[in-house]
Amino acid sequence: MMVELHDPVVALMRQVGRDIVMPRYQNLAAEEISEKAANDFVTIADKESEIRLAEGLTSILPEAGVIGEEACAADPSILDRAGDGLNWIIDPIDGTGNFASGKPPFGIMIALADNGATLAGWILDPLTGRLCHATLGGGSHVDGERIMAKESSGDLPIAAISTIFMEAAERAEMERKSQAIFTMVDIPRCAAEQYPRLVLGQNDVSIFARVLPWDHAAGTLFVNEAGGCCQRLDGSAYRVGEQRRGLMGASSPRLWDLAAKTYYA
**Known binding positions for Mg(2+):** 69, 91, 93-94, 215
Q: 36 and 113 in contact (C-beta within 8 Å)?
A: no
Torsion of CA 241, 245, 249, 253, to 10 degrees: -90
Rounded Cα–Cα distance for residues 166 and 46 (Å) = 26
Q: Residue by residue, what is the 3-state secondary structure of 8-58?
A: HHHHHHHHHHHHHHHHHCCCCCHHHEEEEECCEEEEHHHHHHHHHHHHHHH
Backbone angles phi, psi at 126, to 5 degrees: -65, -25
Count the residues in the chain: 265
- CA dist., res. 219 & res. 121, Å (int): 7
Beta bridge partner(s), residue 160: 206
Annotated binding site: 69, 91, 93-94, 215
Q: What phi and psi values does residue 167 have, to the nearest 5 degrees? A: -70, 160
- CB burial of 181-198 (b: ≥16 within 10 Å; e: otherwise) equals bbebeebbbbbbbbbbbb
